[in-house]
Structure 1
Amino acid sequence: MEFRYLGGSGLKISEISYGNWLTHASQIDSDVAVACVHAALDAGITTFDTADAYADAAAEVVLGEALAGQRRESVEIFTKVYWPTGPKGPNDCGLSRKHVMESINGSLKRLGTDYVDLYQAHRYDTETPLAETMLAFADIVRQGKALYIGVSEWTADQIRAAKALADELHVPLISNQPQYNMLWRVIEGEVVPTCRELGISQIVWSPIAQGILSGKYLPGQDLPAGSRAASRVGANLAERIASEQQTLERVQLLKPMAAELGLTMAQFAIAWVLQNDNVSAALVGASRPEQITSNAAAAGVRIPAELMARVDQVLGDSVVRDPALTAKRAPQQRPC
């Protein structure tokens, strides 16, 4: 495993990090989830990312149980706040001071820890003044309940405004967590340049495009048994696969490139996002321990510039680059 600094801070995280969205307490049983976490630890992964909204807070419980017994200082635990939790009342979501302060306490209890290394705003809250949110985050840092703060899927302008307030409050805003992969590159035009300027780096989710870049979804064929798209939580992914047959065909053309480097398709996809110097970590999930072991082997891989260029040529207009999509896909009001 290799490690990278997160933003302009002194915090190092494993460049392959473990995320439990769609898996813990949802797609896989708790005993399998624990085995996956232990496989991640065995592979040298020290960074674990979750959120209070994953599986209606149950994912945090499972992660806490899986990490129980580990030396707390030897792992980095990240979680998030914004999406609805609890009975989903009018204050059970968003980034109001009330919800943020109550949510951190719930997350710490479920995770079985006194603090998280990184506390992230899971989306931007259009209904709460940014100054209110940032003051709440600053108070959480001063209380020792979080060491650093971050955001997820914020636009460049939102990140710039948040960083200005964080600097005034003397709290370390060091990360953004966006979707990023060979097919989805909307952060490259505006978010990445802004973050690079401000000393903020990316912790990217879906580096394998929910399995599409693994090459296992073949054009014109049934969904593989046991795959995420074929599972009870994969309806949206199945619809996407059905509508993007040309993309699936182009993805198959990446297989010889991965083979040139002695990599699986999934490893190639993970290594690709790590070529971006503003990316500190690629989040990977797993439904089986051997998946996380295999994906962790993407750490430290260097892809030659010639192969990077060939990826662009093969994928062509299947790549989505419009930076406006970060704002367009964001919630315009609180979802509770």
Structure 2
Amino acid sequence: MQTNQQLPLPIMGCGTWAWGNRLLWGYEQSMDEQLQQVFNLCVENGVTLFDTGDSYGTGRLNGRSEILLGKFSQEYIGKNQANICLATKLAPYPWRLTRGAMVAAGKASAKRLGRIDLVQMHWSTANYFPWQEWQLLDGLAELYEQGLVKGVGLSNYGPKRLKQVYQKFHNRNIPITTLQVQYSLLSTYPVTELGVKEVCDELGIKLIAYSPLALGFLTGKYSEKDNLPTGLRRLVGKQILSGARSLLNCLAAIAQSKNKTMSQVAINWCICKGTIPIPGAKSLQQAQENIGALGWFLDAGEVEELDKAAASVDKAMVQNIFQSN
């Protein structure tokens, strides 16, 4: 059975449980309450697309991201409640080899979330295990045909593979609703080099931009000389920030002229490019700042200025290794 329900995709999504999932690995009750407040604030302000994945959380916290998101959605009562869109991504694990395995994974995620509005293939196996992928895509199609999800999307797919999958689903009268790619002023590759935006526009697919703040490197809070983040991001920051100074200066200047923050300008740039950015938020302050990217637009000259600055960056963000062509 196919569903004809309209997916309530907003102008901006909140990837709190996608890119803030590290919080869930060491969560406490107070943190859960804080995330509930973040969720409530987002929805009240019209940010109603929430993205997660069944691979977020390991060991005893396996599935915790989906469980929390489902809980927050069920407990929220108020403005824009009917527009909440719960999206999750199903991982093509090497032990998921059949259509039935993907259907079972979708049902498990739906149980944790309470429902699935948008189910997405987390990444393509075309680069290393292409025959596996078609079985799993059949599973996504079956979830839609059984009315268990409202829409189907993809993540980390390039234009060539996207067209192939689109045709496969079109033959079954199933629309591909969305495509997620890593996209920001420090990661323009999927759009400028692969050309996914043009293909999405041609096929009527909405492009979702994950990591629009480039792991925080576009916020202005980090410097190549000091105040670097810890762990792997510290190494990335050392490699990127020195060569991105002209971009960051441009971002800061436009932010000052607009009376906005650098984060808000970076997110708004993604919106001006026709994408749905899903910045993460782990606190009320971060959520409020993300919301401040809405309700206004950079002018054409400012967008062009940022485009040029982004093109001059010495070293862009490392691309997701699962991004296909």
Match of 1:125 in 2: 125
Are 2:53 and 2:91, in contact at CA under 8 Å, matched by a contact in 1?
no
1:14 aligns with 2:10: yes
- In the superposition, the TM-score normalised over structure 1's length comes to 0.82
SS of residue matched to 2:108: helix
What residue ranges of structure 1 are gaps of 5+ in the alignment? 1-8, 85-89, 224-228
Are 1:149 and 1:174, in contact at CA under 8 Å, matched by a contact in 2?
yes
CA drift of 1:253 comes to 3.8
1:329 aligns with 2:321: yes
SS of residue matched to 1:140: helix
Are 2:265 and 2:293, in contact at CA under 8 Å, matched by a contact in 1?
yes
2:289 aligned to which of 288, 291, 294: 294
Are 1:220 and 1:245, in contact at CA under 8 Å, matched by a contact in 2?
no
Aligned-partner residue type, residue 143 of structure 2: I
1:202 aligns with 2:207: yes
Are 1:206 and 1:284, in contact at CA under 8 Å, matched by a contact in 2?
yes
Are 1:49 and 1:78, in contact at CA under 8 Å, matched by a contact in 2?
yes
Match of 1:254 in 2: 251
Q: Which range is displaced more, 151-160 or 289-298? A: 289-298
Aligned-partner residue type, residue 260 of structure 1: S
1:80 aligns with 2:89: yes
- Provide, for residues 183-212 of structure 1, a one-character-per-residue CA deviation record: whole Å limited to 9, x for no partner: 111122321111111111211101111110
Instruction: Find the aligned partners of 2:321 and 2:202 in 1 and give their Cα distance.
Output: 24
Match of 1:3 in 2: none
Deviating above 6 A after TM superposition, structure 1's stretches of 4 or more consecutive aligned residues are 319-322
Are 1:131 and 1:165, in contact at CA under 8 Å, matched by a contact in 2?
no
SS of residue matched to 1:330: coil
Match of 1:275 in 2: 272
Match of 1:215 in 2: 220
What is the RMSD of the two structures over their aligned residues, measured on CA atoms? 2.5
- Provide, for residues 112-133 of structure 1, a one-character-per-residue CA deviation record: whole Å limited to 9, x for no partner: x2x3111000001233355433
Aligned-partner residue type, residue 267 of structure 1: Q
Are 1:51 and 1:81, in contact at CA under 8 Å, matched by a contact in 2?
yes
- Provide, for residues 225-283 of structure 1, a one-character-per-residue CA deviation record: whole Å limited to 9, x for no partner: xxxx33xxxx2211100222323523134211111112100000000001113x1x110
Match of 1:87 in 2: none
Match of 1:240 in 2: 236
1:195/1:47 CA distance change after superposition, 3 Å? same
CA drift of 1:138 comes to 1.7
Match of 2:36 in 1: 34
Aligned-partner residue type, residue 43 of structure 1: N
Match of 1:160 in 2: 163
1:262/1:83 CA distance change after superposition, 3 Å? farther
Instruction: Find the aligned partners of 1:321 and 1:218 in 2 and give their Cα distance.
Output: 16
Match of 1:59 in 2: 65
Structure (1 or 2) with the greater helix fraction: 2
Aligned-partner residue type, residue 305 of structure 1: A
1:42/1:241 CA distance change after superposition, 3 Å? same
CA drift of 1:216 comes to 0.5
SS of residue matched to 2:25: coil
- Provide, for residues 81-124 of structure 1, a one-character-per-residue CA deviation record: whole Å limited to 9, x for no partner: 1155xxxxx52x5x63133111111111111x2x3111000001
CA drift of 1:221 comes to 1.0
SS of residue matched to 1:55: coil
Are 1:100 and 1:136, in contact at CA under 8 Å, matched by a contact in 2?
yes
What residue ranges of structure 2 are gaps of 5+ in the alignment? none
Aligned-partner residue type, residue 25 of structure 2: S
- In the superposition, the TM-score normalised over structure 2's length comes to 0.84
Aligned-partner residue type, residue 299 of structure 1: L
CA drift of 1:23 comes to 2.0
State how many pairs are aligned. 301
Instruction: Find the aligned partners of 1:329 and 1:134 in 2 and give their Cα distance.
Output: 20
CA drift of 1:167 comes to 0.6
2:140 aligned to which of 133, 137, 141: 137
CA drift of 1:40 comes to 1.2
SS of residue matched to 1:169: coil
Are 1:108 and 1:116, in contact at CA under 8 Å, matched by a contact in 2?
yes
Instruction: Find the aligned partners of 1:320 and 1:301 in 2 and give their Cα distance.
Output: 30
Aligned-partner residue type, residue 254 of structure 1: L
Q: Which range is displaced more, 160-169 or 31-40? A: 31-40
